[in-house]
Structures are given as C-alpha cells and as structure tokens.
C-alpha cells in the first residue's frame, strides 16, 4: 500500500499578497542605488564604492529570489514539470553565487594592484562619504520595508539579512570617506573594499554550498535522517525499512520516500498514518510511503541492497 501526501504551506502564499509591493519597491531602490554607486565609484576612483555596489548586486539577487520563490509557489505543476518550477530558484541562486565569486576575485585583484602602487590612487573622499551616507539611508529604509513581512518567509528573511549586512558596507564607505577627507588616508578605501569582499565571499560560498546540496539531492541539514529511521523502526508492527530517500527539492521544501515492512496486512493503515505523522513532524512537505507485509520478503524478494537494513 502506498501513502502519498504533501503540504504547500499556503500561509506563506497568503503573506505574499502583502509583501510583493514591499519587495518590488525594495528591489527598485536597491538597483537604483547600485548603479549610483557604480557611477560615482568610477568617477571618485573608489574601490570601496565599487565593492559595495557588488555587494548590493548580492542584495538585488536575494530580493529577486524571494520574488521568484513567491511566484513559483503560485504556479501549478504541469505534465512536464511535475514538481512545478521550484528548482528554478535554486538554479538562480547557484548562478548568483558563481557570479559573486568572480566579482570578489576581481576586487581582490584591484586591491592588490593598488597596494603594489602604494595606495597612490587619489580617491575623492567627499563623493565616497556622500554616497556612503545615501547608501546607509537606503539600506535602513529597505530594512524597515522588509521588517513587517520577513517572519512569514525564510526567503524574505534571507534577503532581509543580506540588506542588514550591506549596512556594514555603507558604514565602511562613510569611514573611508571621512578618513580620506581628513587625513588623506587613501589606503582606507582599499581596506574597506577588502572588508566588503569578505562579506561577498561569505554570502557567495554559503549560497553555493546550499544550492549544490540541493542539486546533489542531499538530505536536509536540519533533519536527522538517523533519528527519523529510528522513530519509524520503533513503531509497533514495523519490522524494517528500506529504500529510504530524503532530499531537498527547493528552499524549505523537503521530499521523502520509503518502503516499510510490517507484520500483518491489517497493520498497514495505522502504520502508514503513524509514519506520515513522524515525517511531517520532521518537516517533510511531500511524503511517499509504501508499506509491505512480511510475506513479501519471501515471495517477491522486494528488499533492495540498502544500507538501512
């Protein structure tokens, strides 16, 4: 007997009706300021501003991923895409992570070049300071926009934390601008850019690791599959479990399949119900369980070479 159930967490979809406008406005503000930083960064010869613009690109990608996720949750599966379009979010995140690592590598190259020349690049501290202040105000405003809706979605919460981290980049630009204006400390601009590279690299590696785990169909980090198996095996009437597979389909959407051996035919309904309860309690959204009676072992040899036997 096969049991199949799934949960889509529709409460998060209800939240999106209130959060879409806030997300769109946040994306618009972030993109506008990102291009402003690129423009002024080139004029002021500021590596710190250009680095912060790259970090803003990370913010834009995070906000767009949140919007994409909302949109994908609203779309129904098709005959070709039977799981829907959830993996598109993961693929986008993977590309974003690779792009950020290339950007970080380029900034490191520029910083090294400036260090070799003894930080003789005359950065316009006044412009750096002004843009840093504007960036701080923009990021604070975006944080206030996202604050009321971040609790309903881990994707929005992730974007929120990206913007919070970017506040540090704006503060760094303000410090660099003041240092250059008051003390001609041009090295501060390069130092701040290296600090921002650390932020970019941290986010990029984290995103790359998470998306790679999804592509490799690794079990969820926050779920102990060993404990799940122990709980199922401890159920009355359960003899064994095989062909157990748990993986992440997309952000916060976990899938599990399993074959369970029970003693008697009459045990199947209760065992199936109990297993589904265990798996849902551990956070699995889509559950497929096939319960087989012990006689199957002798007549049909239905147990595979599984490490869980």
Instruction: Decide if 4 is inside a domain.
Output: no
Task: Tell whether 124 and 44 lie within a shared domain.
Answer: yes
pLDDT of amino acid 14: 45
Boundary (domain end) residue, out of 169, 188, 215: 215
Number of separate domains in the chain: 2
Cα–Cα dist 203/55, whole Å: 9
Is the same domain home to 163 and 130?
yes
Q: Assess whether 13 and 161 both reside in one domain.
A: yes
- pLDDT of 298 reads 55
Query: In this structure, are 197 and 286 located in the same domain?
Result: no
Please check whether residues 21 and 44 belong to one and the same domain: yes
Does residue 266 share a domain with residue 201?
no
Q: Does a structural domain hold residue 170?
A: yes
Q: Give how far Cα 29 sits from Cα of 52, 138, 207, Å.
A: 15, 7, 23
* Sheet order of strands, 253-262 included: 2-6, 286-293, 253-262, 238-250
Any domain includes 305:
no
Give the pLDDT of the chain (309 residues) as one tens digit per residue.
556 665 444 444 444 566 678 888 999 999 999 999 999 999 999 999 999 998 888 888 888 877 877 777 678 889 998 888 888 778 878 888 898 899 999 999 999 988 888 777 789 999 999 999 999 999 999 999 988 877 656 667 777 888 888 898 999 999 999 999 999 999 999 999 999 999 889 888 988 998 899 999 999 999 999 999 999 999 999 999 999 999 999 877 899 999 999 988 888 999 999 999 999 999 999 999 999 887 655 555 544 433 443
CATH number, position 264: 3.30.70.1350
Q: What is the CATH number of the domain that holds 34?
A: 1.20.1510
Q: Measuring CA to CA, which residue among 121, 232, 285 is closest to residue 187?
A: 121
Q: Of 215, 248, 275, which residue is a domain's last?
A: 215
DSSP H stretches of helix in 184-267: 187-215, 225-233
Residues 84 and 175 in one domain: yes
Residues 190 and 229 in one domain: no
Q: Which residues contact 82 (CB under 8 A, 6 or more apart)?
A: none
CA atoms within 13 A of residue 101's CA, in its CB half-sphere = 12
Instruction: Please check whether residue 105 lies inside any domain of the structure.
Output: yes
306 lies in a domain? no
Same domain, yes or no: 30 and 102 = yes
114 and 80 assigned to the same domain? yes
C-alpha 192/C-alpha 49 separation (Å) is 9
Please report whether residue 3 resides in a domain: no
Residue 128, in any domain of the structure: yes
The structure's pTM equals: 0.80
**Structural domain range at position 30:** 9-215
Q: Which of 215, 247, 264 is where one domain is finished?
A: 215
CB 217, CB 247: distance < 8 Å: yes
Q: Please indicate, yes or no, whether residues 35 and 102 belong to a single structural domain of this protein.
A: yes
Query: What pLDDT does residue 67 have?
Result: 80
Q: Would residue 76 be called left, alpha or beta, if left means φ above 0 and alpha means ψ between -120 and 50 degrees?
A: beta
Residues 31 and 179 occupy one common structural domain: yes
C-alpha torsion angle, residues 44, 47, 51, 53 (rounded to 10): 10
């Amino acid at each position: 007997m096969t049991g199949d159930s799934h949960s889509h967490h529709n409460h998060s979809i209800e939240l999106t009706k209130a959060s879409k406008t806030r997300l769109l406005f946040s994306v618009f503000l972030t993109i506008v300021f990102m291009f402003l930083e690129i423009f002024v960064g080139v004029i002021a010869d500021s590596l710190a501003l250009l680095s912060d613009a790259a970090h803003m690109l990370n913010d834009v990608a995070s906000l767009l991923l949140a919007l994409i996720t909302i949109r994908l949750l609203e779309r129904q599966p098709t005959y070709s895409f039977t799981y829907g379009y959830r993996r598109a979010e993961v693929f986008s995140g993977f590309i974003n992570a690779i792009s950020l690592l290339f950007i970080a590598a380029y900034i490191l190259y520029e910083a090294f070049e400036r260090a070799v020349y003894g930080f003789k690049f005359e950065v316009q501290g006044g412009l750096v300071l002004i843009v840093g202040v504007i960036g701080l105000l923009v990021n604070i405003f975006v944080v206030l926009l996202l604050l009321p809706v971040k609790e309903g979605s881990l994707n929005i919460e992730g974007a929120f934390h990206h913007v919070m981290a970017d506040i540090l980049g704006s503060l760094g630009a303000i410090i660099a601008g003041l240092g250059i204006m008051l003390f001609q400390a041009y090295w501060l601009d390069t130092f701040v850019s290296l600090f921002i590279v650390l932020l970019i690299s941290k986010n990029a590696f984290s995103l790359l690791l998470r998306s790679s785990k999804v592509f490799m169909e690794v079990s969820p980090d926050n779920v102990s599959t060993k404990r799940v198996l122990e709980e199922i095996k401890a159920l009355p009437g359960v003899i064994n479990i095989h062909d157990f597979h748990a993986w992440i389909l997309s952000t916060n959407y976990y899938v599990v399949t399993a074959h369970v051996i029970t003693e008697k035919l009459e045990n199947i309904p209760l065992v199936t119900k109990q297993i589904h309860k265990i798996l849902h309690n551990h956070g699995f959204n889509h559950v497929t369980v096939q319960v087989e009676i012990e006689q199957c072992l002798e007549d049909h040899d239905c147990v595979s070479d599984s490490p869980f036997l």
